[in-house]
Amino acid sequence: MREREIRAEQRHLDAVYRRLAEKIHEAEFLMADAAKRAQVGTPGALAERDAQVFRAGVHLNRLNSEFEDFLFGRIDLLPGKDGERGPDGAYTSVEPADDAVRTAVPDGTAGPGDPGTAVADIAETLHIGRLGVLDADYTPLVIDWRAPAAAPFYRATPVAPGRVVRRRVIRSRGRRVLGVEDDLLRPELTAYLDGEELAVVGDGALMAALGRARGHAMRDIVASIQAEQDEVIRAPAVSVTEVEGGPGTGKTAVALHRAAYLLYQDRRRYAGGILVVSPTPLLVSYTEGVLPSLGEEGQVAVRALGSLVEGAEADTYDEQPVARVKGSARMVRVLRRSARGVLELGSPEAGGPPERLRVVAFGARIELGPEELRDIRERALGGTAPVNLLRPRARRLLLDALWEHSGAPRRYPDPELAAEARQGFDEDVSTEAAFTGFLDAWWPELTPRRVLAAMRDEKRLGRWSRRILQPREVRRLARSLARLDDGGAGPLSVHDVALLDELRVVLGAPARPREAETAADSWGLDQLSGLEELRTHAERTAGRAARSERPAEERTDYAHVIVDEAQDLTPMQWRMVGRRGRQATWTVVGDPAQSSWSDQEEAAAARDEALGARPRRRFELTVNYRNPAEIAELSARVLALAMPGTRPPTAVRSTGLVPRFAVLPDGGGEGGTGRGTGRATARAAARTAARDLGGAVRAEAERLLAEVEGTVGVVVAMGRREQARAWLAGLGDRVVALGSLEAKGLEYDATLVVSPAEIADESPAGLRVLYVALTRATQRLTVLSGAKDLPDAEGVPDLLRE
Ligand SMILES: Nc1ncnc2c1ncn2[C@@H]1O[C@H](COP(=O)(O)OP(=O)(O)OP(=O)(O)O)[C@@H](O)[C@H]1O
């Protein structure tokens, strides 16, 4: 039966590919035809040609994409009630017609089936795939997974099957159908398709998908989206959609599918671009293949928090105490004060702020002294306008003061004459080298990096952050910025990027290099008018290449913003992200139990501010698709400590493989040795212990590599990242060492969590970070105790005991 069903689907897939070939042929013809139109040469014909080439190009591109599983689903439906044909030609009604189901009677008048059983005929079969394909007569051969008619494929359950009798997932590679998996949604019914009883094959696609080995790239879930996820994906994009759910509930997957859905559903509206904000570059590269596999690229920008600001690309992390200062909303005031403070330092080229301004006007010398200058600066700075943008105001106040000093107002009692004389005075003075040189030195144009660099000086920073930061915080902040040179060049941390963005606002945009402006302008046009559609394919491609060479942030205002792992954004990061979606609708997904930010209330307030007063719609995801029940049960113990009262999601499967607990060979560990024997001995003991830990980690990683087909993630405390990489050297690219904060959002077939206590002790949010680490595995988990863990006789560390 399986073979027969596979052959039937193969015939359908063959028909789809024949039709695709015809469409490709048509698109190529359109391209050639468009080229001929160009020879006509009138502006109208040229615009038409461009539009035609563009459409054909996009179409060709899509058709030519080598999708894995192009066609992946099928539903067999009962006749519908009040069925209407939707825009894609399919029936959209969800309820079966009143007479759809009959009872078979002995004389056979109700058709085949045992007497007394419920029987029905399949009225319609829909195939579902990554793109919609219509046959030459406009009957749908494949329905796009995002079309309304495809929704029952995801939504139907045995409790509420609607019209769906059988849901089938079709597995194919290239043009070959490899297998089918069916779910019968109305098992009580004997259904007939073209007079033959409907076959049911396999035991469901979800389990097959979840059991597959993981690689270094996330896969889409189009073939097995579950009903509660589908509701989020298709939720109308009004204001803010908030999604909460525990680890492995598919939040990231759902967020990405939602981006593809929104584009499908209203491509024009989202021409302004969709931004997906991800916490780490690792998660960006893990997920970046998903959208192309859904047929969507280009209009969705997936960016890590450290890559949201032009010219700043950061992937390093500050230590927790420093990150806490930099992420805190208090930094807004510190930065405002610092910007003004830096202004007072004058330009570095001039060696500090000039004390006096001397110019020559009306044949006489006029001078402004230190006090007057200070007074003028204060008046110019009154108010909250960006510092760089206040320069013209300061210039005007200087000229006013010079004019007063010149004695001219007394000489010209007639206002008209005075105004004329004043105009000449302003022109003369403001072009004088002494004046322009003074202005550049006294009110230099500031860049965000320069302000950040000036904050390296602890004494100054202390002044600028008086009564805002504590001295200890000032010291930490100043030290961490010591990586920058005077001009602010040097490596930035992820948290510095949000500070830079804030400073851009505090300072106002400095004049940009010509080239960058041109590139940004063309983006603006694209966004506003949809003009992109009128450019040729080649032009678009060239534009795209140029954009990808440009530093990360091209747009500053998106049509829709999706924030993944939203629980982790610091208040300063919320402000940065909020600026990118002032007019946008939002999808915000996260899990408070996985938050690595210590002050959750402060972050929640910043989030509210970023999202404004927009109404919010909330969804909850409740099923854990990643961890087997055995691993979920263990991690729930940490959840109970980290967030008492929070309900963990329900694991959807169980493997029978319980987590393994490993201890160091001598049962002890690093740092716990060297009792009373002097420093040198203690150091030697620590070295030996580190070697032991390294040996144990490597041995355990090797064991896991042998046990699973796919990837192994070794999660250590942030402070041990480099060490762990060295321990695992040479084991191949299936195994990765990660700091606890980097593990966010990722998953591995097997995970080795090294020293839970060390991870938990690293920050005030350490228990939640440990919860993240323990929820990364899809198949196997080993926990290795370190010096601080106090394992019991079974090797279970204290934090993980029941
Ligand atoms: N409906 C589904 N069908 C198949 N696989 C699924 C489904 N939903 C989720 N998954 C899989 O479960 C895993 C977890 O999904 P995802 O990473 O999106 O979860 P998450 O909620 O973002 O987790 P975390 O909070 O830990 O980051 C992924 O491998 C994903 O492909």
pLDDT digits (tens, 9 = 90+) for 242-279: 999 999 999 999 999 999 999 888 888 887 789 999 99
Q: Residue 710 Cα, ligand 1 centroid: separation in angstroms?
A: 16
Give the pLDDT confidence of 275-296 residue by residue, as tens digits: 999 999 999 999 988 888 887 7
In angstroms, the CA 525 to CA 705 distance is: 51
Of the ranges 114-128, 363-377, 428-442, 766-780, which is most confident? Answer: 766-780
In angstroms, the CA 567 to CA 589 distance is: 8
Which of 229-238, 620-629, 741-750 is predicted least confidently? 229-238
Q: Residue 626 Cα, ligand 1 centroid: separation in angstroms?
A: 6
Of the ranges 27-36, 565-574, 608-617, which is most confident? Answer: 565-574
Q: Coil, strand or helix: which one is 298?
A: coil
In this structure, the residue with its CA closest to atom 14 of ligand 1 is: 248
**Spatial contact of 635 and 771, defined as CB atoms under 8 Å apart:** yes
Over range 754-758, report the average pLDDT.
96
Instruction: Please report the pLDDT score of residue 535 as a whole number.
Output: 30
Are 176 and 69 within one domain?
yes
Predicted confidence band at 691 (pLDDT cuts at 50, 70, 90)? confident
Are 203 and 118 within one domain?
yes
Ligand 1 mutation pick, 171, 252, 278, max ligand atoms within 8 A of CB? 252
Instruction: Please report the pLDDT score of residue 52 as a whole number.
Output: 63
Q: Which atom of ligand 1 is nearest to the CA of 594?
A: 25
In this structure, the residue with its CA closest to atom 13 of ligand 1 is: 626
Are 121 and 175 within one domain?
yes
Q: Residue 35 Cα, ligand 1 centroid: separation in angstroms?
A: 46
Asked whether residue 711 is assigned to any structural domain, the reply reads yes
Q: Residue 623 Cα, ligand 1 centroid: separation in angstroms?
A: 9
Are 639 and 786 within one domain?
yes
Asked whether residue 713 is assigned to any structural domain, the reply reads yes
Instruction: Please report the pLDDT score of residue 598 as a whole number.
Output: 76
In this structure, the residue with its CA closest to atom 24 of ligand 1 is: 247
Of the ranges 61-65, 475-479, 537-541, which is most confident? Answer: 475-479
Return the structure tokens found at 539.
């032009």
Closest by Cα among 196, 185, 207 to 75: 185
More confident residue, 348 or 622: 622
Asked whether residue 517 is assigned to any structural domain, the reply reads no
Ligand 1 mutation pick, 626, 635, 652, 653, max ligand atoms within 8 A of CB? 626
Helix intervals (H) in 129-171: 151-155
More confident residue, 298 or 731: 731
Average pLDDT along the chain: 84
Give me the amino acid identity at 28: E
Instruction: Please report the pLDDT score of residue 364 as a whole number.
Output: 86
In this structure, the residue with its CA closest to atom 29 of ligand 1 is: 626
Q: Residue 248 Cα, ligand 1 centroid: separation in angstroms?
A: 5
Instruction: Please report the pLDDT score of residue 510 as a whole number.
Output: 53
Q: Residue 254 Cα, ligand 1 centroid: separation in angstroms?
A: 8
Are 198 and 269 within one domain?
no
Over range 166-185, report the average pLDDT.
87
Q: Residue 33 Cα, ligand 1 centroid: separation in angstroms?
A: 46
Predicted confidence band at 409 (pLDDT cuts at 50, 70, 90)? confident
Over range 216-245, report the average pLDDT.
89
Q: Which atom of ligand 1 is nearest to the CA of 209?
A: 4
Q: Is the pLDDT of residue 531 over 60?
A: no
Return the structure tokens found at 785.
């105790």
Sequence-distant (6+) residues with CB within 8 A of 102 are 110, 111, 118, 119, 120
Instruction: Please report the pLDDT score of residue 789 as a whole number.
Output: 92
In angstroms, the CA 406 to CA 121 distance is: 100
In angstroms, the CA 435 to CA 385 distance is: 24
Q: Is the pLDDT of residue 530 over 50?
A: no
Domain around 382: 323-507
* CB-CB neighbours of 76 under 10 Å: 21
Of 477, 492, 507, the residue at which a domain comes to its end is 507
In this structure, the residue with its CA closest to atom 27 of ligand 1 is: 745
Q: Which atom of ligand 1 is nearest to the CA of 621?
A: 21
Over range 158-182, report the average pLDDT.
87
Return the structure tokens found at 570.
């610091």
Q: Is the pLDDT of residue 447 over 80?
A: yes
Asked whether residue 763 is assigned to any structural domain, the reply reads yes
Of 189, 210, 231, the residue at which a domain comes to its end is 210
Q: Residue 221 Cα, ligand 1 centroid: separation in angstroms?
A: 8
Measure Cα distances from 377 to 349, 506, 614, 700 in Å: 20, 17, 39, 65
List the binding residues for ATP: 245-252
Asked whether residue 384 is assigned to any structural domain, the reply reads yes
Q: Which atom of ligand 1 is nearest to the CA of 245?
A: 21
Asked whether residue 90 is assigned to any structural domain, the reply reads yes
Cα angle for residues 143, 149, 150 (degrees, 5° grid): 60
Asked whether residue 523 is assigned to any structural domain, the reply reads no
Measure Cα distances from 492 to 333, 479, 484, 496 in Å: 21, 13, 8, 6
* CB-CB neighbours of 392 under 10 Å: 11
Asked whether residue 215 is assigned to any structural domain, the reply reads no
Of 161, 187, 210, the residue at which a domain comes to its end is 210
Are 54 and 194 within one domain?
yes
In what helix (H) or strand (E) does residue 746 lie, and over which residues does it extend? none
**Spatial contact of 677 and 714, defined as CB atoms under 8 Å apart:** no
The pTM of the full predicted model, rounded to 2 decimals, is 0.82
**Spatial contact of 81 and 95, defined as CB atoms under 8 Å apart:** yes
Instruction: Please report the pLDDT score of residue 87 as a whole number.
Output: 52
Over range 62-78, report the average pLDDT.
78
In angstroms, the CA 673 to CA 713 distance is: 29
Measure Cα distances from 449 to 46, 452, 517, 541 in Å: 46, 5, 19, 33
Closest by Cα among 701, 729, 705, 703 to 715: 701
Cα angle for residues 406, 409, 410 (degrees, 5° grid): 100
List the binding residues: 245-252
Instruction: Please report the pLDDT score of residue 667 as a whole number.
Output: 52
Q: Is the pLDDT of residue 547 over 50?
A: no
Give the pLDDT confidence of 18-53 residue by residue, as tens digits: 888 887 787 777 777 766 666 666 666 666 666 666
Closest by Cα among 153, 202, 252, 133 to 587: 252
Q: Residue 183 Cα, ligand 1 centroid: separation in angstroms?
A: 21
Instruction: Please report the pLDDT score of residue 514 as a whole number.
Output: 38
Ligand 1 mutation pick, 221, 595, 715, max ligand atoms within 8 A of CB? 221
Instruction: Please report the pLDDT score of residue 111 as a whole number.
Output: 56
Are 196 and 269 within one domain?
no
Are 449 and 476 within one domain?
yes
Ligand 1 mutation pick, 251, 277, 564, max ligand atoms within 8 A of CB? 251
Q: Give percent of the chain above pLDDT 70.
A: 84
Angle between helices 600-611 and 571-579 (to 10 degrees): 10
**Spatial contact of 126 and 134, defined as CB atoms under 8 Å apart:** no
Which of 33-47, 83-97, 583-597 is predicted least confidently? 83-97
Q: Residue 342 Cα, ligand 1 centroid: separation in angstroms?
A: 47
Q: Is the pLDDT of residue 520 over 50?
A: no
Are 173 and 107 within one domain?
yes
DSSP percent split of the chain into helix, strand, coil, nearest 5: 45, 15, 35
Q: Is the pLDDT of residue 109 over 70?
A: no
Number of domains the chain is built from: 4
Q: Is the pLDDT of residue 545 over 70?
A: no
Q: Is the pLDDT of residue 532 over 60?
A: no
Sequence-distant (6+) residues with CB within 8 A of 40 are none
Strands, E, within 599-668: which ranges? 616-621, 623-624, 650-651, 660-662
Are 345 and 464 within one domain?
yes
Over range 755-779, report the average pLDDT.
95
In this structure, what are the phi and psi dihedrals at residue 597, rounded to the nearest 5 degrees?
-90, 130
Ligand 1 mutation pick, 210, 228, 746, 774, max ligand atoms within 8 A of CB? 210
Letter string b/e over residues 367-384, b meaning 16 or more CB atoms within 10 A of that residue's CB: ebeeebbeebbeebbeee
ipTM score for this prediction: 0.99
Are 16 and 121 within one domain?
yes
Return the structure tokens found at 456.
């390296």
Which of 111-115, 124-128, 744-748 is predicted least confidently? 111-115
Closest by Cα among 79, 77, 73, 212 to 143: 73
Instruction: Please report the pLDDT score of residue 519 as a whole number.
Output: 32
Give me the amino acid identity at 260: A
Q: Is the pLDDT of residue 230 over 60?
A: yes
Closest by Cα among 241, 255, 245 to 290: 255
Residues whose beta carbon lies within 6 Å of some atom of ligand 1: 206, 209-210, 219, 221, 224-226, 229, 245, 247-253, 591, 594, 625-626, 745, 747, 775
Which of 380-384, 489-493, 512-516 is predicted least confidently? 512-516
CATH number of the domain that residue 607 is part of: 3.40.50.300
Q: Is the pLDDT of residue 523 over 80?
A: no
Q: Is the pLDDT of residue 433 over 60?
A: yes
Number of H helices, E strands in the chain: 28, 25
In this structure, the residue with its CA closest to atom 18 of ligand 1 is: 250
Q: What torsion, rounded to 10 degrees, do the Cα atoms 531, 536, 537, 543 define?
A: -60
DSSP 8-state symbol, 96:
B
In angstroms, the CA 255 to CA 235 distance is: 11
Are 329 and 472 within one domain?
yes
Residue-by-residue DSSP string for 7-56: HHHHHHHHHHHHHHHHHHHHHHHHHHHHHHHHTT--HHHHHHHHHHHHHH
Q: Residue 284 Cα, ligand 1 centroid: separation in angstroms?
A: 15
Of the ranges 123-137, 608-622, 744-758, which is most confident? Answer: 744-758
Q: Is the pLDDT of residue 546 over 50?
A: no
Instruction: Please report the pLDDT score of residue 766 as a whole number.
Output: 93
More confident residue, 468 or 64: 468
